Amino acid sequence: MSGISFSVNAQEPEADEAIKPALLVIDVQKAFIGMMDQSDIDTPVEYINAYIGAFKQLGYPVIYVYHVDSRYSALGSEGYQFIDKIPVEKNEIIVNKTYGNAFNKTDLDKILKESGTNTLFLCGLSASGCVFATLVGGHDLDYKTYILKKAVMSQDKEVTKMIEEITEAINSTAMNLILNSLN
């Protein structure tokens, strides 16, 4: 016998435990994408756009997180802008950050609480940097927080794969089941 056991909570979840999701699209900016090989960008961008479309279609918040850095992505500069393949409309929710963790010294937590969000799905870049830091930051603030498999990227494919594995990133089939079960 292995000694491994799992406890199962047979109680019905309380009403306030229902999933209230938001999608965070992190740092897919021209300054940072330019540091990557194009072959490592195409698939994640397709997945990111599909997730954005699904969340918007179902009426769930999509929040675009921008990293502001005077060297690469100064506020309003060309490098600050999201890549053209991920269009950001003027009326979108935008959070500007200066740290890896999108919660650190931003209004992100306030925005999420005001919308009733308790569950976060993360995509963008860098898998091992800002996406991972925001995952940890979300957990620290008691959000259910998940990375979306194939919708994250970094300068090293193997690092991205490792982050997806250690965080147990969820795939598009699981995300589809979750979103469709909420309606």
User: Within a domain: residue 118?
Assistant: yes
Q: Which residues contact 43 (CB under 8 A, 6 or more apart)?
A: 150
User: Within a domain: residue 1?
Assistant: no
Q: What is the 3-state secondary structure (H, E, C) of the chain?
A: CCCCCCCCCCCCCCHHHCCCEEEEEECCEHHHHCCCCHHHCHHHHHHHHHHHHHHHHHCCCEEEEEECECCCECCCCCCCCECCCCCCCCCCEEEEECCCCCCCCCCHHHHHHHHCCCEEEEEEECHHHHHHHHHHHHHHCCCEEEEEEEEEECCCHHHHHHHHHHCCCECHHHHHHHHHHCC
User: Within a domain: residue 2?
Assistant: no
Per-residue pLDDT of 108-130, as tens digits, reads: 999 999 999 999 999 999 999 99
Domain limits for position 60: 20-181
pLDDT at 37: 82
Q: How would residue 8 be classed by pLDDT, with cut points 50, 70 and 90?
A: very low
User: Within a domain: residue 13?
Assistant: no
Measured CA to CA, the distance from residue 116 to residue 136 in angstroms comes to 20
The percent of residues in the chain predicted with pLDDT above 90, rounded, is: 79
Per-residue pLDDT of 11-52, as tens digits, reads: 444 545 799 999 999 999 999 998 888 878 999 999 999 999
Q: Residue 161's domain is classified under what CATH number? A: 3.40.50.850
User: Within a domain: residue 152?
Assistant: yes
pLDDT at 6: 39
pLDDT at 13: 41
Is the pLDDT at 10 greater than 50? The verdict is no
User: Within a domain: residue 3?
Assistant: no
Per-residue pLDDT of 134-156, as tens digits, reads: 999 999 999 999 999 999 999 99
pLDDT at 42: 93
User: Within a domain: residue 78?
Assistant: yes
Measured CA to CA, the distance from residue 62 to residue 23 in angstroms comes to 5
Q: How many domains does the chain have?
A: 1
The percent of residues in the chain predicted with pLDDT above 70, rounded, is: 91
User: Within a domain: residue 10?
Assistant: no
Per-residue pLDDT of 52-79, as tens digits, reads: 999 999 999 999 999 999 998 999 899 9
Q: Which residues contact 56 (CB under 8 A, 6 or more apart)?
A: 62
CB 139 within 8 A of CB 104: no
Mean pLDDT of the chain: 90
